[in-house]
Amino acid sequence: MKFARNAQSLDASYIREILSAANQPEMISMAGGLPASSLLPVELVRATCESLADNSHLFQYGNSQGFGPLLDTLQRSSKTQNPWLICNGSQQALDLIARALLEPGDQVIAEMPAYLGALQVFQLSGIKVCPLMSSTSGPDLDQLESYLKGGNIKLFYSVPDFHNPTGRVWSTETRIAVAKLCRHYGVTLVEDAPYRELRFAGEQLDTVSEHCPELSISLKSFSKIGFPGLRVGAMSGPADFIAVAERIKQATDLHTGIPQQAMIEALLNHPEFSEHLTRLRQGYQSRYQHLSDALQQQLGDLVQFDTVEGGMFVWLTLTQGNSSDVAARALQHKLAVVPGAAFYPADMALENSALRLNFSNTEPALFPEAVNRLAQALQPMALTA
C-alpha cells in the first residue's frame, strides 16, 4: 500500500513503545504520564455507572458539540463567554485545531522541549514547528517576539502550567507579556492545561487566555483529574472557531460518546469532587517529595532538577552521560524513564542530557528502589566491575 507522505514520516511515539516495555514484570515505570491508579475517582461515578442501563437515551446519537449537561457545567465554570466543544481527550482538540487553522507548511511556535502528542499532530499535518527556548519562569520573550515579528506564525502552542515534560510554570509577568505579544501581532494562542488543577504548592495563577480571550483557544483535559480511559476533553475559543472545529469533529467521528460524557459530568458535579482533588494533590505532593528526597540522597551531584509545585513530572538534568544511553540501561535494571530527545522534533538538535521522570503513577514507598536503579544505570562501569 502507498501511504500518504505525512503518514509515512510520522515517527512512532517513543513513549508508547516504552510503555509496552513498562508492563514487564518487576518493572518500575516512571515513563508514562499516567495518573495514580489508586487515586482514580471510581467511587464518585459508581452510582452513575450503575444507572446507565436505566437511561437508554444516553446510548443514542448526540450533538457534535457535546452532551448538554457537560457543556452547561463547563460554561458555568468559565471566566469568558467563549463556547465549548467536547472532544475525545484534549488530544483530539489539538488535531481539530490543526485541521481548522493550519495548512501544510504553516509555522507554529512551541516551547522546547515539547509535549510529544502535539509534535505528532503538527508533524502529521505537515506543519513547521519553530522551537522556543524556555527557562523556569517560562518562554524566552525576546525570541518569541522575534518569531512573531517575522509575520509567518499561525499560532503559539503553549503549556503554561506544569509543562510536559519540564514541570515548569510561567510566572504572572510572563503570562501578561505573552498575551500582550499575541494581541499585538494578532497570533492565536493555544493554551493546553491538562495539569493546571494538580497544583500542590504555591499560588494558582491566572490562565494566559484570560488576558487575551478573543484570540485564545483553551484546552481542558479530564484525564488527569478524572479518567484517562474515558477519553473526554474539551476546548473553548472564539465562537467562529468553535463552529468550524465542530463541523470538522462531525466529519471525523460525529461526536464523543455520551455515556462517558455523562460520567464526567457526574464527576464534576459530585459533592465530593473537590475533596477528590485535594486527595489527588496531596497524593502527588507526597510522591514528589519521596522522589525528590531519594534523588538528593542517592544521586547528589550526578543530577540537577528544579523543584516543582504540581503536575506529574520532574525534568532531571544529568551532569554527565548521555540520557538516551542511561534510559536504555535503566530498562535493563527494570526502570522505565523517558530520555529528553523524545520531546523534540526528529529533525532538531537533540537533547541528550535530560530525563523525564513521572512521579504520579509510582507508589511513594517505591521511589528509593526506583532511584537506586537509576543510580545503577548512571554507573555502568561500577556495575560491570
Residues at the site binding ligand PMP, with contacts judged by CB under 6 A: 33, 89-91, 115, 117, 159, 164, 192, 194, 221, 223, 228, 233
Q: How far is the CB of 20 from ligand PMP (least distance, A)?
A: 17
Q: Which is nearer to ligand PMP, 164 or 361 (CB)?
A: 164
Q: Which three cell numbers stand for residue 324?
A: 538516551
Q: What is the DSSP string of 326-369?
A: HHHHHHHTTEE-EEGGGGS-TTSPPP-SEEEEE-TTS-GGGHHH
Specify the 3-state DSSP secondary structure of 133.
coil
Q: Which is nearer to ligand PMP, 235 or 378 (CB)?
A: 235
What is the chain's length? 385
Q: Which is nearer to ligand PMP, 164 or 236 (CB)?
A: 164
- Given a contact cutoff of 8 angstroms between Cβ atoms, the answer to whether 91 and 244 are in contact is no
Q: Which is nearer to ligand PMP, 174 or 378 (CB)?
A: 174
Q: How far is the CB of 105 from ligand PMP (least distance, A)?
A: 24
Q: Residue 358: name the closest of 121, 37, 120, 25 by CA.
A: 37
Q: How far is the CB of 257 from ligand PMP (least distance, A)?
A: 14
Q: What angle is formed at CA 217 by the lines to CA 200 and CA 339, rounded to 5 degrees?
A: 55
Angstrom distance (rounded) from CA 260 to CA 56: 14
Helix ranges (DSSP H) in the chain: 5-9, 14-22, 42-51, 68-76, 89-101, 116-124, 141-150, 172-185, 239-253, 258-268, 273-299, 323-332, 367-378, 380-384
Q: Which three cell numbers stand for residue 377?
A: 544505570
Q: How far is the CB of 222 from ligand PMP (least distance, A)?
A: 7
Q: How far is the CB of 376 from ligand PMP (least distance, A)?
A: 28
Q: How far is the CB of 229 from ligand PMP (least distance, A)?
A: 9
In three state form, how does the secondary structure of 145-195 look? HHHHHHCCEEEEEECCCCCCCCCCCCCHHHHHHHHHHHHHHCCEEEEECCC
Angstrom distance (rounded) from CA 162 to CA 253: 31
CA 263 to the chain's CA centroid: 22
Neighbouring residues of 217: CB distance < 8 A, sequence distance ≥ 6: 93, 97, 188, 189, 190, 191, 209, 235, 236, 237, 238, 241
Q: Which is nearer to ligand PMP, 174 or 223 (CB)?
A: 223
Q: Which is nearer to ligand PMP, 209 or 371 (CB)?
A: 209
Q: How far is the CB of 94 from ligand PMP (least distance, A)?
A: 7
Q: How far is the CB of 243 from ligand PMP (least distance, A)?
A: 22
Q: Which is nearer to ligand PMP, 90 or 123 (CB)?
A: 90
Q: Which is nearer to ligand PMP, 90 or 285 (CB)?
A: 90
In single-letter form, the type of residue at position 128 comes to K
Q: How far is the CB of 57 from ligand PMP (least distance, A)?
A: 26
Residue nearest ligand PMP, Cβ-based: 89
Q: Residue 126: name the closest of 99, 145, 86, 146 by CA.
A: 99
Q: How far is the CB of 324 from ligand PMP (least distance, A)?
A: 21
Q: Which is nearer to ligand PMP, 200 or 329 (CB)?
A: 200
Phi, psi of 59 (to 5 degrees): -100, 5
Q: Which is nearer to ligand PMP, 41 or 194 (CB)?
A: 194
